[in-house]
Amino acid sequence: MLAAGAGLGLGELTAALAGGTSPVVGVGTQLIDLAPGAAKDFAVKNLGTADKPVLIGVVLLAVTVFALLAGAIGATRPRVAVALTALLGVLAILAAATGRTLAPNHFVRVLPGIITLLVATIGILLVLRILHPGSRTSQPGKPAAKASPESAGAAAGPAEAPAGFDRRRFLGTAMALGVAGAGGLGASLVIPAGVSEATRRGIRIPVPASRARAMPAGVMADVPGVSRFVTPNPSFYRVDTLLTVPKVDPRTWSLRIHGMVDRELELSFADLLDRRLIERDITLTCVSNEVGGPYVGNARWIGVPIAELLREAGVQGDADAIKSTSVDGLTIGTPLKALTDGRDAILAVGMNGEPLPFEHGFPVRMVVPGLYGYVSATKWVVDLEVTKFADFSAYWTDRGWAVEAPIKTSSRIDVPKGFARIKAGPAVAAGVAWAQQRGIAKVEVQVDDGEWQPAKLAAEDSIDTWRQWTFRWNATPGNHTLTVRATDTTGEVQTADRAAPRPNGSSGLHNTVVMVE
Ligand SMILES: Nc1nc2c(c(=O)[nH]1)N[C@H]1C(S)=C(S)[C@@H](COP(=O)(O)O)O[C@H]1N2
Ligand SMILES: [Mo]
């Protein structure tokens, strides 16, 4: 454990200093990418944003158990212990070499793994030399013949130290390895990675040429407990596959637009801010959102229309897709049509009055109204390739999710919460409904098996934002089930047919049980 810990600690320190792939994060990221869809669905559903610390904890626990096993085996079979300990380093190198990474080049990405391999292997050899004096392969456990009191006989109880065991040397080596492990890990946690929060805050986003329409009064349902119409950034849902949030330096960030184009474009962050900016309210939704779930949020975004960049690059022939790539190498495929059909598809730089938060894709991400995030909302985006769906497959589509995924008309009850106790008499329910790009025309509520009754709709901000609703009813004693359904402006009524999020978004009606006293 000491040897593995020292290897890991100095590997993590190297990653923090040089910007390579951290052994723990590298292996964790490979677990994310290799995990079967069902495991990932489980994590998204049951762990939410805690999935990341949980995964890191699992990796650390696995390393601990593995190292303990290697140590136990090492008591009788030192060579096996060396091989197992070295294997930890090899795994770190393999994960870094083959997985997604934020590292700038091939050498830097594997460097922390190499350090882990070297330090852990040297560490275990040192410890074994002390525990098995004489030869590395000598059998331990033979009683000490005539050890001097200061240097031997340290073991308490019936077990005796091996012949020639040097207690002081062992403690010294153990201490050195322990300090390397704990110190390296500790230092790696406090060494800042990437740009600072002050740098992010300090960025001034120009006033957009096209402002968002003034939000109509009355976009909020006037009911305590209903979602805020504009989701504050700190409580905006977060879904991605990164174990550490990238803190990309906007001074070195650049975006390449290439592929089936007449002219390749390369844009810096300053270039982007110099272009025509538009400001729009757009509700983002995750395909993994269960009926009634929390992975939906509404924000005021500022960004550059993607259509204008594509026009400048000159899209060629029969291209039908944009493959966008994030700084860690994750890819997303978006229909070209959704970016050029006049909707407000943007490369966003601002979110609710500030530069994008790091978690939400700083410095630049895509936002495309009407499509689930996994086919449109690439965070930390660095590359747009104009291409054909036939010529590539994106990260999520490789994992069983649909290639194209427009957002399904959906609605949710925010209040009352499930199993709330309320007083008999006049009662109120409220929530949100969304059908980005189509707009919500109607929301209805059903009490138990009764008639569908119209809810009162709050003012509409835009067809790309969710819409709040309020329903007043007369609650009679007993348990009641409230069910909600929305109708979009195409006249399509939200389906009651239940579907799981995979492959292209959940469907079914949200209901909630209330206890009326
Ligand atoms: N680079 C990157 N961008 C990404 C993802 C990701 O895993 N990596 N996840 C996507 C998914 S599934 C969704 S729903 C949205 C979520 O955006 P948010 O975390 O800002 O709410 O980002 C999208 N963009
Ligand atoms: Mo998502």
pLDDT tens, the chain, 517 aa long: 999 999 999 999 999 999 899 999 999 999 999 988 888 878 877 777 788 889 999 999 999 999 999 999 988 999 999 999 999 999 999 999 999 999 989 999 999 999 999 999 999 999 999 888 765 444 444 444 444 444 444 444 445 666 778 899 999 999 999 999 999 999 999 998 899 999 999 999 999 999 999 999 999 999 999 999 999 999 999 999 999 999 999 999 999 999 999 999 999 999 999 999 999 999 999 999 999 999 999 999 999 999 999 999 999 989 999 999 999 999 999 999 999 999 999 999 999 999 999 999 999 999 999 999 999 999 999 999 999 999 999 999 999 999 999 999 999 999 999 999 999 999 999 999 999 999 999 999 999 999 999 999 999 999 999 999 999 999 999 999 999 999 999 999 999 999 999 999 999 999 999 999 9
The finding on whether 240 has its CB within 6 A of some atom of ligand 1 is yes
- Confidence (pLDDT) at 134: 65
> What is the C-alpha separation between 331 and 401, in angstroms, rounded?
13
Structure tokens at 98: 């083959």
- Confidence (pLDDT) at 150: 44
User: For every residue of 86-115, which 3-state class applies, written as one string?
Assistant: HHHHHHHHHHHHHCCCCCCCHHHHHHHHHH
- Confidence (pLDDT) at 47: 77
Task: Name which of 32, 54, 53, 28 is nearest 41 in CA terms.
Answer: 32
Q: How far is the CA of 240 from the centre of ligand 2 (A)?
A: 7
- Confidence (pLDDT) at 144: 42
Mutational pocket test of ligand 1: of 45, 100, 233, 240, the residue with most ligand atoms within 8 Å of the beta carbon: 240
Question: Does 416 sit behind a cis peptide bond, omega within 30 degrees of 0 on the bond before it?
Answer: yes
- Confidence (pLDDT) at 135: 54
pTM of the model: 0.91
Q: How far is the CA of 295 from the centre of ligand 2 (A)?
A: 8
Q: Compute CA 297 distance to the chain's CA centroid, rounded to the nearest angstrom.
A: 16
Q: Where on the phi/psi map is residue 491: left (φ > 0), alpha (ψ -120 to 50), or beta?
A: left
The minimum-distance atom of ligand 1 relative to the CA of 379 is 3
The protein residue whose alpha carbon is closest to atom 19 in ligand 1 is 238
The finding on whether 377 has its CB within 6 A of some atom of ligand 1 is yes
- Confidence (pLDDT) at 52: 86
Longest Cα–Cα distance of the chain, Å, equals 93
The finding on whether 352 has its CB within 6 A of some atom of ligand 1 is no
Q: How far is the CA of 396 from the centre of ligand 2 (A)?
A: 9
Strand partners, 266: 256
The finding on whether 100 has its CB within 6 A of some atom of ligand 1 is no
Reported as half-sphere exposure (CB side, CA atoms, 13 A), residue 454 has a value of 6
The protein residue whose alpha carbon is closest to atom 8 in ligand 1 is 240
Amino acid at residue number 446: Q
Question: Between β-strands 346-351 and 354-355, what pairing exists: parallel, antiparallel or unpaired?
Answer: antiparallel
The finding on whether 471 has its CB within 6 A of some atom of ligand 1 is no
- Confidence (pLDDT) at 157: 44
Q: How far is the CA of 304 from the centre of ligand 1 (A)?
A: 19
Q: Tell me the C-alpha to C-alpha distance, in Å, between residue 35 and each of 32, 58, 89, 353.
A: 5, 14, 21, 37
DSSP-assigned letters across all residues of 439-470: -EEEEEEEETTS-EEEPEEPPP--TTS-EEEE
Helix%, strand%, coil% for the chain, nearest 5: 35, 25, 40
- Confidence (pLDDT) at 155: 44
Q: How far is the CA of 71 from the centre of ligand 2 (A)?
A: 42
Question: Does 503 sit behind a cis peptide bond, omega within 30 degrees of 0 on the bond before it?
Answer: yes
Q: Domains in the chain, ordered, with CATH?
A: 2-190 (no CATH), 233-399 (3.90.420.10), 410-516 (2.60.40.650)
Residues ≥6 apart with Cβ < 8 Å to 301: 279, 280, 281, 282, 346, 348, 350, 351, 367
Structure tokens at 392: 């590539």
Q: How far is the CA of 509 from the centre of ligand 2 (A)?
A: 20
Mutational pocket test of ligand 1: of 253, 282, 374, 381, the residue with most ligand atoms within 8 Å of the beta carbon: 374
How many other C-beta atoms are found inside a 10 Å radius of the C-beta of residue 143? 10
State the ligand closest to the CA atom of 368.
1
The finding on whether 399 has its CB within 6 A of some atom of ligand 1 is no
Q: How far is the CA of 284 from the centre of ligand 2 (A)?
A: 9
The finding on whether 89 has its CB within 6 A of some atom of ligand 1 is no
Q: How far is the CA of 192 from the centre of ligand 2 (A)?
A: 28
The finding on whether 284 has its CB within 6 A of some atom of ligand 1 is yes
- Confidence (pLDDT) at 340: 98
- Confidence (pLDDT) at 74: 85
Which residues make up the environment of ion ligand 2, defined by Cβ < 5 Å? 239, 286-287, 373-374
Task: Name which of 502, 512, 445 is nearest 38 in CA terms.
Answer: 502
The protein residue whose alpha carbon is closest to atom 24 in ligand 1 is 378
Mutational pocket test of ligand 1: of 238, 379, 380, the residue with most ligand atoms within 8 Å of the beta carbon: 379
Q: What are phi and psi of 344, to 5 degrees?
A: -85, 60
End-to-end CA distance of the chain: 59
> What is the C-alpha separation between 175 and 178, in angstroms, rounded?
5
> What is the C-alpha separation between 233 and 230, in angstroms, rounded?
9
Reported as half-sphere exposure (CB side, CA atoms, 13 A), residue 98 has a value of 12
> What is the C-alpha separation between 16 and 185, in angstroms, rounded?
10
Unique residue bearing structure tokens 């109120």: 428
